[in-house]
Amino acid sequence: MTVAGVDIGSNTAKAVIMDNGDILATSLIMTGHQSRLAGRRALDLALREAGLEEGDIALIVATGYGRLTTDFTDQKVTEITCHAKGAHSVQPEARTVIDLGGQDSKVIAVGENGKVVDFVMNDKCAAGTGRFLEVMAAALEIELDNMGEVSLESESPASISSVCTVFAESEVVSRVAEGTNKMDIVAGIHQAIASRIYAMTVRVPFKEKVIMTGGVARNIGVVRALEKRLETSLVVPEMPQHMGALGAAIIAEERAGA
């Protein structure tokens, strides 16, 4: 049986097509301003890659912020449940999921069965999210994708004490003006994120293993800073951004089979 999971986030839309537990195809596109269309396009792309038509799909589950605006999906599940599911499938021993996406960050405690035990999300604040990193990259005039590598070279991370995006940005600007190395500033930014996320992990029953998902997991600098702060190593799956869509596809499989 073939099913699909579509995850429409604030930044990117992802789709995963599965057939009896195997991933047939995945896709990832920018969401843009019309989340409904983005979900549709992500699904079409994945279908094309798999060489399938929509009629071949038994059940489609949507997740992510844009899930409610879709009309082509059969069921809708929150990304918290889906991320837990997806992360559990790639790492069954994971008991904590740290998901840093474009617009929010969350820490999810997962049970042995992949179900959500507890979770915390950042409140209306961009600190610790992909958006935060984007703003910082712009302030430093470096490529977002290079931030991770750049920061690893730092030996004395600058102190960025504020966790507020706006304040942190002006702190970064003044560090630049003071002549601080870019790599030290970037490393400092990653430390600021790590301390913010650490504060969230103490609010859930935090257990090892810890898996990191979401776009920010692609930033090796943040991963290392978090590992240091949490004093544990993090599992980063091959496709961290697709964990929500994967979880949605697994839920689709469970429900279609039931």
Out of 24, 41, 65, 241, the residue judged to bind other proteins by CB under 8 A: 65
Stretch that binds other proteins, among 24-32, 119-127, 177-185, 210-218 (CB under 8 A): 119-127
**SS3 label, residue 166:** helix
CA distances, 130 to each of 18, 46, 49, 101, 216 (Å): 28, 24, 28, 6, 6
- 173 sits near other proteins (criterion: CB under 8 A): no
Tokens 């089979």 label which residue?
Answer: 257
Of the pair 53, 254, the CB lying nearest other proteins is at: 254
- What's the gap between Cα 233 and its chain centre? 17
Kind of pairing between the strands at 234-235 and 210-213: parallel
How many whole angstroms separate alpha carbon 42 and alpha carbon 189?
Answer: 32
- 166 sits near other proteins (criterion: CB under 8 A): no
- Least Å from the CB of residue 205 to other proteins: 9
- 37 sits near other proteins (criterion: CB under 8 A): no
How many whole angstroms separate alpha carbon 238 and alpha carbon 236?
Answer: 7
Number of residues that bind other proteins (CB under 8 A): 19
Out of 23, 52, 76, 134, the residue judged to bind other proteins by CB under 8 A: 76
- 33 sits near other proteins (criterion: CB under 8 A): no
Out of 21, 33, 124, 177, the residue judged to bind other proteins by CB under 8 A: 124
Each residue of 104-117: b (16+ CB within 10 Å) or e? bbbbbbbeeebebb
Stretch that binds other proteins, among 70-78, 128-136, 144-152, 153-161 (CB under 8 A): 70-78
DSSP string, 70-96: -SS-SEE--HHHHHHHHHHHH-TT--E
Out of 46, 95, 119, 219, the residue judged to bind other proteins by CB under 8 A: 119
Binding to other proteins (CB under 8 A) within 189-208 occurs at 203
DSSP label at residue 100: E
- 23 sits near other proteins (criterion: CB under 8 A): no
Of the pair 123, 238, the CB lying nearest other proteins is at: 123
Of the pair 209, 255, the CB lying nearest other proteins is at: 255
- 115 sits near other proteins (criterion: CB under 8 A): yes
Q: Which residues bind other proteins (CB under 8 A)?
A: 65, 68, 76-81, 104, 115-121, 123-124, 203
